Amino acid sequence: MVVRHLGLADYSATFEAMRCFTRERDANTEDELWLLQHPPVFTQGISGKAEHLLMPGDIPVVQIDRGGQVTYHGPGQWVVYLLVDIRRAGIGVRQLVTLIESAIVELLAVYGIAAAADPKAPGVYVSGRKIASLGLKISRGCSYHGLALNVDMDLSPFQRINPCGYAGLEVVSMAMLLPNDTVNMSAVGERLLAELQRQIDLAVAATA
C-alpha cells in the first residue's frame, strides 16, 4: 500500500485527484492512503440539505460525491483518504466503515481517550461528542474519500453548521480532551496511518 503525505492541500484539487486516480486505476493498481490537512472548507455530501449550512460566511462550501451531510475541514485536523480496491480485497462497504472507526478508536486509546463508534451515525464519539467524521464513495468496487480526525484545531467553524446533519451535535478535539498534554500532530498522523494499515491487513487476512 502506497502512503502519501500531502501536507496542507487545497480541497477541490485533492477531490479531483481522488476521482482521477479512481477512474484511471486498474486491477493491478496499488491501493493508497493519503494523509493531509485542508485549508478551511465546508464539504456537502450528496444527501446534504441546505438548512444544515447555518452561517458559512467566508468559508467556501464544496459540493462533493461522498455520502452524508455537511462537515468542516481545517488546519489541525488529520484527513486520511482511503483509495482501496475493496472488491479485490474482499472487503464490504460496511466492513470498511467498521475498520476505519476501529482504527480511530484504537489510536485514541493510545492517548487515554475512551471513544466508540455509533451504529446509527457513522463516525467516532467521546461521551456523545464527535471527534472524527467519516464519509466514503464507492466507484467500480473502489473507495475514495475517508476520515477526518480533530486533533488540535479551531472548532468554532463547526458552530456555523449542523455537523453531519445533527443540530446541536457537540464536536471535540484531542487537544480539548488532553488539556495538560502537547498533542504532536505528526505523531498522531503516523500512528493513525499505521493503525489503518493494520486494520486493513486484518480484514483482508480474514477473507483469505
Active-site annotation, residues:
164
Q: Is 114 buried (19+), middle (13-18) or exposed (0-12) by CB count in 10 A?
A: exposed
Contact 58, 67 (CB under 8 A): no
Contact 157, 59 (CB under 8 A): yes
CA–CA dist 168, 36 (Å, integer): 28
Angle formed by the axes of helices 93-110 and 185-207, nearest 10°? 140
If you write DSSP's letter for every residue of 54-85 in order, what string do you get? ---TTS-EEE-SSSSSEEEE-TTEEEEEEE-B
Cβ neighbours for 105, distance < 8 A, ≥ 6 positions apart: 115, 116, 117, 124
17, containing H or E segment: helix 11-24
